[in-house]
Amino acid sequence: MAAITAAEQGLSRVLILEGTPEPLQKVRISGGGRCNVTHACWDPRELATHYPRGSRPLRGPFSRFACGDAITWFDERGLTLVEEPDGRMFPQHNRSEAVIQCLQNAARAAGVQLRTRAMVQQVQSQLDGGFELVGRGLESPLRARQLMLATGGHPSGRRIAEALGHRVVPPVPSLFSLSLQAKPLVACSGIAMDDVSLDLKLGHQRFRQTGRVLITHRGLSGPATLRLSAFAARALHASHYQGELKVDWSAGLGRQGVEQRLQQWRQEQARRTLAAAKPMEHLPRRLWQAFLLMAGVEGDRRWADLPLKAERQLLEILCAQCLSIRGRGPFGEEFVTAGGVDLGEVNLATMESRRCPGLFLAGELLDVDGVTGGFNFQACWSGGWLAGQAIAATLQ
């Protein structure tokens, strides 16, 4: 985005150095190969609330280039984005390859040069201005008047930024599933539910999220779990991914509503078995049967014969099930990290370093990360566009 923007503004020589054989690999694998390009969140202030790190500082950049601007930018270059019911926006034909082709075509049309297998390993600022770059795949040192680092979560970018005088906030995992100690629950792997409330307690800190949850063979995943992990990323890391999670499966019915429903079922469904007559329609039958197992009550018992103690246990499971976290789920290839270059050392109006003039930084290299749903890509588009504009204005 930065290279294309700078070139489209009239710069005659813009060069991208890519350490891998193929650029944009993270775009290719994102969203299961669909690429969640951005999110339909039109208010810049509201958009910024979806970033656990950087929410307040990002209001400025988003006021100049937010999701609406990104949608227009891609549309003008031949890529139509389609909004899904939850606000996520994907390419019209659901192929991440379409996003890659759009960016590559725009770069070629603007005259951007791309050099692959060129891994920059060292950058030195020059006394007379500019930078000298050396690294694997570079036959001789390169000189650049302006330089932008957009290395994502790769440690090479953080090392270069530190060498140029920046403070780097240590990166920790973000956006991951939770591994739980709950065999009857994980036996329900594959079940997804909406409006599940999660309440995570880590020492004196508490984190809450409500939304769609997916039960996996390890524990919990899904959008609400991933958002929870993003906001609690540093606290979870500090606790070695151990803690107590309370889950409310009642879909907003609440403790009083669930208690009334159980008593109502005891009367109205008195002759039916617990397994056959689940008290809430939104509960998948397999999950309800797992709850019965956790409460220690037989599914073939009639509602009229449900012991009061078992009813209270079911009430607790449905409204405030306590689960022990035993770790985080495995990182996928498209993981996000919390951490990077301190935002206080970057002018977010231009993305230029405050410590090293002529150096620009954007994307996951910065201490910015968003929740799942296209927000991390949006931060990259916004930062890249701002940097490209500023680089072109400076050199021209």
Boundary of a domain, candidates 330, 346, 367: 330
Asked which of 308, 330, 352 is the last residue of a domain, the reply is 330
Q: Which H/E stretch holds residue 15?
A: strand 15-17
Query: Are residues 71 and 168 both part of a single domain?
Result: yes
Which residues are within 8 A (CB) of 108 and not within 5 positions of it... i.e. 6 or more apart? none
Domain residue limits at 137: 2-172+332-395
Place of tokens 């993270």: 26
Residues 27 and 150 in one domain: yes
Identify residue 231 by its one-letter amino acid code: F
Residue 240 contacts residue 225 (beta carbons within 8 Å): no
Q: Among 330, 351, 382, identify where a domain stops.
A: 330
- 306 and 316, same domain (yes or no): yes
pLDDT at site 211: 96
3-state SS, one letter per residue, for 227-255: HHHHHCHHHHHHCCCCEEEEEECCCCCHH
Q: Do residues 114 and 41 both lie within one domain? A: yes
What pTM does this model have? Answer: 0.90
- 115 Cβ neighbours under 8 A, 6+ residues apart: 15, 16, 17, 18, 137
Give buried/exposed letters for 107-143 (b at 16+ CB in 10 A, else e): beebebeeeeebebeebebeeeeebebebeebeeebe
Gap between the Cα atoms of 219 and 232, Å rounded: 17
CA distance 222 to 211: 9
The answer on 12 and 102 residing in a single domain is: yes
Confidence at residue 331, expressed as pLDDT on a 0 to 100 scale: 59
Q: What is the CATH number of the domain that holds 352?
A: 3.50.50.60
Q: Are residues 315 and 344 in the same domain?
A: no
| 273 and 159 housed in the same domain | no
Which residue type occupies 385? W
Q: Are residues 258 and 340 in the same domain?
A: no
Write down the residue that tokens 């949608």 correspond to.
71
Q: What pLDDT was estimated at residue 329?
A: 84
Q: In this structure, are 194 and 303 located in the same domain?
A: yes
- Statement to judge: residues 192 and 130 lie in one domain: no
**Are the beta carbons of 247 and 222 closer than 8 angstroms?**
no
339 and 263 within one domain: no
Residue 202 C-beta-side C-alpha neighbours within 13 Å:
20
Query: Nearest Cα to 339, choosing from 361, 364, 359?
Result: 364
Q: Whole-angstrom Cα distance, residue 155 to residue 162?
A: 11
381 shares a domain with 317: no
Paired tokens of 203: 């020492």
Per-residue pLDDT, 333:
47
d(CA 205, CA 169): 21
Number of domain units in the chain: 2
| Per-block mean pLDDT, blocks of 10 residues, the chain (396 long) | 97 96 93 94 96 95 97 98 96 96 98 97 94 96 97 94 97 94 90 97 94 95 95 96 96 95 95 95 95 95 95 97 92 74 97 97 96 95 98 90
